[in-house]
Structure 1
Amino acid sequence: MTATDTSQSRKRPARAPKPQGQWKVDGKDPLNPNEVFKKEDDALNVRDRILEKYSKEGFDSIPPTDLTGRFRWMGLYTQRKQGLGGRATSDLSDEELSDEYFMMRVRVDGKEVSTDALRVLGGISNDFARGSADITDRQNIQYHWVDIKNVPEIWQRLESVGFETMEACGDCPRAFLNSPVAGVAADEIIDPTPYLQQMHDRIIGNPEFSNLPRKFKTAATGHPSLDVVHEINDVSFVGVEHPELGAGFDLWVGGGLSTVPHFAKRLGVFVPPERAADVYEGVVSIFRDYGYRRLRNKARLKFLVKDWGAEKFREVLETEYLDSPLPDGPAPEYSGQRGDHSGVHDQKDGRKYVGATAVVGRISGDILNQVADLAEAAGSKRVKFTPHQKIVFLDVIPEKVDELVEGLYALGIQVYPGPFTRVGMACTGIEYCKLSFVETKEKARTVLSELDQRFAGETIDPPISVHLNGCPNSCARIQTADIGLKGQLIEGDTPGFQVHLGGSLAGAEVAEGELGQSVRGFKVSSDDLTDYLEGLVRNFLADRGEGETFAEWSRRAEEEKLK
């Protein structure tokens, strides 16, 4: 036997690839504890236990698999115990970090919120959530301090005005995003609202789709401002005009941020409106059947899309899940408008819609009630929440606009905010979130206001977005901000931020988005944040080229100008 033969004979046989938990490939045997508890009992069943047992017997009656698992499908997470510093986030267990109160997310699904519903939301806040209420970047309302004993009454009140918490969290199709000006904007291509309702009625609360590999985020818009951040959702329907087939949707799949960000991919298909619900069910089904379930940190749809590519994804969708192929379609056209809808705009019926900034989404029960009063006084009976933590007032009588603007300003809600406040964003932070290392909401309010004052009288156009996040998970979209700030502890227990620069989404300034990048080896303490940001922006203003955006400048600037 030759040396070569000997070497070959000693080679180990190739190992079979590890199963990834793809149901259509590997079968349905659970490969991690999360998949075990989901298989043992459908998470939707926990609703009855909350109503019949836990709300009556109290917090101590809730077993761990429901408390830290299935409760999420009902929009409930235990909130962080008060007084625990950032070091506790990494040093303590989830049980040690958890309080006996809940954060609750209310599914709004991009629907209009009547003034009657605003008062119900405000009443729940004041009666059961210590006055807390935040507008999230998923167009949700988020409460804190919710006692399990009060959940049935909260649900009853929500359902009386058409809202719910069903599947607001968990490994399921979470709250939908819809254009805040759907059905009213004069330049709208198509109103997605009825088609989103069809998707909701078919999928939400349906046990066939309640066990997905991970969370699944949905967005739709028919407005040319591209106002639902379609590039970072698992599936998005974006309004387009087909030259032969009329108005419909361009389909995007596989977007998401967190610690491994990916922009969604266009499939290149045109979705006729009457097929939108079928296509949506098909995309959700692909994720359910082919999504990776072995590792939680590799289970989002974006990882499957990255491996398959758009062409294969389209092929599987059309051949396995739809009754006929979809036609090729055009890409969205970028209008150059900003998608936050701040300011006063024309409706198609001659009235106005008015976009207002509740700074980083923080409001209260009292403010919700007063917003309802102001809306009605301006001729409006409905508002929308936005994916940018804002409020849009619909159907405002033109002669009442100034009165509405003044009334909102008295509540701290601005129709004409400064450039930093307008586009700032912050996650929940250490105040309530068990994953956070730093405080974000109040820090953001202070920093954005101070920057507006320091740059008063100077032209900051387009506005420079500053997003604060308390941990690496990017709930506040740090990778798509001009300046993204990721909370962490620096120099021992000092709260601070890693800096990401140069992120953007398609829309007003650029035709295609780009993910921001961290400034190598650089962190800034929370106390020094405002001064750092001022210096950074002044470097940009002094060094920028003609028509150059902050994101573009930050990608080519010398490193010392970024620190």
Structure 2
Amino acid sequence: MSADTTSTPRAAGRPTRTQDHGQWALGSREPLNPNERFKQEDDGLNVRARIEEVYAREGFASIAPQDLRGRMRWWGLYTQRKPGIDGGRTAVLEPHELDDEYFMLRVRLDGGRLTVAQTRAVAEVSRRFARSTADITDRQNIQLHWVRIEDVPEIWRALEGAGLSTTEACGDTPRVVLGSPVAGVAADEIIDGTPAIDAITERYVGDPAFSNLPRKFKTAISGNPHLDVVHEINDVSFVGVVHPEHGPGFDVWVGGGLSTSAHVAQRLGAWVPLAEVPEVWAGVIGIFRDYGYRRLRNRARLKYLVADWGAQRFRDVLETEYLHRPLLDGPAPAPAEGRRDHLGVHRQKDGRFYVGVSPTVGRISGEVLDRVADLVEAAGSDRVRLTVEQKLLVLDVAADRVDALVAGLAGLGLHADPSEFRRGTIACTGIEYCKLAIVETKARAARTVAALEAALPTFEHPLTINVNGCPNSCARIQTADIGLKGQIVTDDEGRQVEGFQVHLGGTLGGQASFGRKLRGHKVVGDELPAYVERLARAFEAGREADETFAQWVQRADEEVLR
């Protein structure tokens, strides 16, 4: 079978267990849950016509439920949370009780790339239609809020007129393709993966062959030696390596993911040249489409299939059923050294510079985006990049314009030399807009950063703090030095309040490992700054030379960590 068709392959990868997982390749085509049913009834891509021709004209009340809470995601639209509903009611209310009559709209930016004109286009849409919201996500997207269904067609015209898209930004689809934000310019780059990102998005995004997957499908491609796209936790990743005979290419990883059941991706041990990345990508996503588990929604991610099959079986099926040829064996990537967030001022391989700055927990505004565009243009650049750490970069800056750009961005609160706390903290959307959230995240994380900066102004050790509003780990809590999972906790006075379960010592790059949970340990939300300050002080006082926070956590006494 070719990788981009919907016909059923032969069942060489047939699982040994007899349980029906709802795998298409094994003949299971009956819809086994409501999500599978609405996808079979009508492709999510088809909802755009109804949005433009019916819903935008007749308003929110006209939207069919399966479009509202299902197919509209295929075009980047989620209903946002109705204001005033506390986190204790998140799991007990029906979806229609949580829905506000406004939407989050996700703008997909494959490779995290924006031109000056595109930055201005997003800024204009933000100001006109989204109450000036514009959150940089840890998937290199921008999320807008307060969007009315009546405005969506005009928003699409503005974005698409600038070469941007919301196609398959959400839903059971191939989501945004992560890429190194310094692809093509980094002085130490192994290989530039940009052509593969472009080929994948041009050929396959919006293609009905891959618009009905068991769940979402996450991709990362980077040839940067700093391992800057969290390849360990994506469904498929292509990581730059040098083959001893064939030169620069990519090492293939599959089956990573976090949420409530975290899995580190597995290496296939295969080396792929740049030109073949799109074909191999199509084979991997084809396996997911055909063999992925569709019966139970909470078992439908690729990570479960990879965990059951193992890397060798997955590679065998990829080669025999989808590529019809063997892949070359290849080396593993070297462990990353140093920072991978690209903050600061760095010389490019062409002699110019790129500048990386840190918004606080990814939160900016339409006005700030507009002023960023002005500064980028004044610096003689036309390339803005977003990172998986919720950061913003400007490429191609001449040496004599660097200082002015750095100062201008700092005036917007975007610092090239932020504190370790501002640099290392990311946060998901949280209860402010998200219907799954239990606690507030963005504002709380920002207040925590400010408090830590005031309390520990000379703290200079790398420290990542990831704040998530629910168990789904959009902010990658298991992989942070301090990962905070939102939940309702009991305070000292017996009240039910917002708080966090704590994960400590998670890390990616080199030997990836997930954070350590302390039994029964919870932190009340209002006590979060004091708790992190206490941890930071203990780490600073107790660390050995060159010891990271994650290393220190592994040997620290549990009472010190509470």
TM bracket (short chain): over 0.9
1:501 aligns to what?
A: 504
Q: CA offset at residue 111 of structure 1?
A: 4.8
Partners of 1:531 and 1:337 in 2: how far apart?
28
Give the conservation status (yes or no) of the 8 Å contact 2:497–2:524: yes
What is the aligned partner in structure 1 of residue 321 from structure 2? 320
1:492-518 per-residue CA deviation (whole Å, 9 max, x = no partner) reads 431111111010000xxxx21110122
Counterpart CA distance in 1 for 2:296 and 2:529 is 39
Deviates more, 1:405-414 or 1:467-476: 405-414
Contact 1:384–1:393 (8 Å) recurs in 2: yes
Does 2:75 align with 1:90? no
Q: Which residue of 1 aligns with 2:12?
A: none
1:76-117: per-residue Cα shift (whole Å, max 9, x none)?
000001122112212311110110000000011115311111
Distance 1:533 1:247 in 2: 42
Instruction: Find the residue that maps to 2:84 and give its secondary structure.
Output: coil
1:7 — aligned with what? none
Residue 285 of structure 1 and its aligned partner are, at CA, apart by 0.2
- Assess if the C-alpha contact under 8 Å between 2:236 and 2:256 holds in 1: yes
Cross-structure match for 2:137: 136
Q: Percent identical across equivalent pairs?
A: 59
Contact 2:488 2:498 (C-alpha < 8 Å) held by counterparts: yes
Aligned residue runs from structure 1 range 388-403, under 5 A: 388-403=389-404
How far is the alpha carbon of 1:200 from its aligned partner? 1.2
Are the aligned partners of 1:78 and 1:100 in contact in 2 as well (CA < 8 Å)? yes
Rounded Cα–Cα distance in structure 1 between residues aligned with 2:477 and 2:113 = 28
Partner SS, residue 519 of structure 2:
strand
Residues 246-261 of structure 1 aligned to structure 2 (within 5 Å): 246-261=247-262
In 2, Cα distance between the equivalents of 1:274 and 1:529? 48
Q: Which residue of 2 aligns with 1:381?
A: 382
Q: Equivalent residue of 1:53, what SS? A: helix
User: Corresponding residue for 1:552?
Assistant: 551
List per-residue Cα deviations over 1:137-182 (Å, max 9, x = no partner).
1100100000001111111111111111110001110011010001
Number of equivalenced pairs: 542
Residue aligning to 1:176: 177
CA distance in 2, matches of 1:449, 1:416: 15
The question of whether the paired residues in 1 share the 8 Å contact of 2:138 and 2:389 is answered with yes
Q: Deviations over 1:520-560 (max 9, x none)?
A: 10111111111111111212222222322111111221111
Query: Deviation at 1:392?
Result: 0.6
Q: Is the 8 A contact 2:112 2:141 kept in 1?
A: no
Contact 2:253/2:265 (8 A) holds in 1: yes
Q: Whole-Å Cα distance in 2 between the matches of residues 197 and 405 of structure 1? A: 30
Instruction: Give the SS at the match of 1:180.
Output: coil
Contact residue 19 and residue 26 of structure 1 kept, 8 A? no
- Secondary structure at the counterpart of residue 267 of structure 1: strand
Counterpart AA for 1:562: L
The equivalent of 1:366 in structure 2 is 367
Partner of residue 482, structure 1: 481
Aligned ranges 1:138-157 → 2 under 5 Å? 138-157=139-158
The code of the aligned residue for 2:475 comes to A
Residues 393-418 of structure 1: CA deviation (Å, up to 9, x unaligned)? 00111111111111111111111000
Shift of the alpha carbon at 1:364? 0.5
Matched-pair contact (CA < 8 Å) for 1:256–1:264: yes
Off by >6 Å, runs of 4+ in structure 1: none
Residue 465 of structure 2 corresponds to: 466
Counterpart in 2 of 1:426? 427
Question: Could you tell me which amino acid in structure 2 is paired with residue 447 of structure 1?
Answer: T
1: CA distance, partners of 2:458 / 2:167: 47
* Alpha-carbon offset, residue 18 of structure 1: 2.9
SS of 1:258 mapped into structure 2? coil
SS of residue matched to 2:329? coil
What's the offset of the Cα at 1:453? 2.5
Distance in 2 separating the partners of 1:256 and 1:190:
25
In 1, distance between residues paired with 2:52 and 2:398?
Answer: 44
- Which residues of 2 match residues 164-563 of structure 1 at below 5 A? 164-458=165-459, 460-461=460-461, 463-491=462-490, 492-506=495-509, 511-563=510-562
Q: Is the 1:111–1:193 Cα contact (8 Å) retained in structure 2?
A: no
Structure 1, unmatched stretches of 5+, are 1-15
Whether the 8 Å CA contact 1:482–1:502 is kept in 2: the answer is yes
> Which residue does the alignment assign to 2:11?
none
- For residues 93-108 of structure 1, the aligned pairs below 5 Å read 93-108=94-109
Q: CA deviation at 1:323?
A: 2.9
Unmatched 5+ stretches in structure 2: 1-16
Output the CA distance in 1 between the equivalents of 2:408 and 2:370: 13
1: CA distance, partners of 2:369 / 2:546:
40
Asked if the contact 2:383/2:394 (under 8 Å) is kept, the reply is: yes
Question: Could you tell me how far 1:382 is from its partner in structure 2?
Answer: 1.5
The residue type equivalent to 1:199 in the other structure is I
Q: Which amino acid aligns with 1:137?
A: D
User: Does the Cα contact within 8 Å between 2:20 and 2:28 map onto a contact in 1?
Assistant: no
Once residues 197 and 506 of structure 2 are traced to their aligned partners in structure 1, the CA distance between those partners, rounded to angstroms, is: 29
Q: CA deviation at 1:68?
A: 0.4
Which residue identity is paired with 1:191?
D
Cα distance in structure 1, aligned partners of 2:362 and 2:527: 24
Q: Which has the larger radius of gyration?
A: 1
Amino acid aligned to 2:474: C
Kept in 2, the 8 Å contact 1:20–1:26? The answer is: no
